[in-house]
Amino acid sequence: MRLAVLTDIHGNLPALEAVLRDLQSQGGADQHWVLGDLAAHGAFPAECVSQLQALPNAAFVQGNTDRYLVTGQRGKTPVATAETYAQHPENLRRREAVYSWALERLSFDQYEFLRGMRHEIELQVPSYGWVIGYHGVPGDDEGMMFPETPDDEVLDFFADREGRLGFGGHTHRRMDRALVPWRVINPGSVGLSRDLRFAYYALVDFDGGEVQVNFREVPFDWQAYVEAARMVNYPDCTFLQEWFDKLPES
């Protein structure tokens, strides 16, 4: 059985389309997991939601920015320093412009779809065991797990869960941690990677009691994406340009 795991698309249609082409070139998947942050902070929210909804045998997790879109809630992390506080009013203005812009483009059916996504998903794989999917950490769509997070802190997030394999997103950084009894994976972000200028996802093959994870990094034309965002009058093209400019090419 093959599972494709995508997360953190963030309205980046060229990146998503590149991933879906790569997925087909690899023979497709039996099931698809999409682990949140589908639409906001990108130029093509409605188009990305439509393409993801069309995936066969797909299960979806609501990410924190999906929740912000459909509830009006915002992040609970406080401003940490005087320097960031000085930028806070402008950051709030830009953020609200981005969410309003996305909502104006999503249909009501798409809004309802985002609103109805689950907070956590699970799958029992024959001869392997339970696999779970979440956005940030189990039980918290804003929780963070990084490659450098101490082992005991990572395991604490799974203390009341049963299973062998966990998939999440949110940090936009690829991660693969083997921590008995869990293996904890973040495939990286489709649309706004913090690693390199690629679109990231994972193909997961289960064979009996074994699992093989193929981490995919797919090139896409990020410069054309930023230009397309300008053409549709996306309200924060500066953010997109700066995001990709700061990433290393390899």
Starting at the edge strand found earlier in the chain, the sheet holding 58-60 runs 58-60, 31-34, 2-6, 198-207, 210-219
Q: What is the pLDDT of residue 74?
A: 82
Three-class DSSP category at 122: strand
Peptide bond into 78 cis (omega under 30): no
Residue 187 reports pLDDT greater than 90:
yes
pLDDT above 70 covers a percentage of the chain that reads: 100
Residue 32: what pLDDT? 99
Sequence-distant (≥ 6) Cβ neighbours of residue 234 within 8 angstroms: 42, 43, 101, 240
Residue 25's H or E segment, with its range, is helix 13-25
pLDDT at residue 80 in the model = 79
Is 87's pLDDT higher than 90? no
Q: Give the least confident one: 10-19, 42-51, 80-89, 191-200.
A: 80-89
Q: Identify the pLDDT of residue 39.
A: 98
Joined together, the tokens standing for residue 172 give 């936009």
Mean pLDDT along residues 132-160:
96
Residue 121 confidence (pLDDT): 98
What global pTM score does this model have? 0.94
Does 78 have pLDDT greater than 80?
Answer: no
On the question of pLDDT at 23 being above 80, the answer is yes
Beta strand residue intervals within the chain, DSSP E: 2-6, 31-34, 58-60, 121-125, 129-133, 165-167, 175-179, 182-186, 198-207, 210-219
How high is the pLDDT of residue 75?
Answer: 78
pLDDT tens digits for 88-134?
888 888 889 999 999 999 999 999 999 999 999 999 999 999 999 99
**Which of 2, 3, 200 lies closest to 121, judged by CA?**
3
Residue predicted with more confidence, 123 or 85: 123
Section 7-14 average pLDDT: 99
Task: Looking at 44-81, list the stretches that DSSP marks H as alpha helix, in order from N- to C-terminal side.
Answer: 45-53, 64-71
CATH no., domain 2-118+192-245: 3.60.21.10
Residue spans per domain, the chain: 2-118+192-245
Report the pLDDT value the prediction gives residue 83, as an integer from 0 to 100: 84
Q: What is the pLDDT at residue 122? A: 98
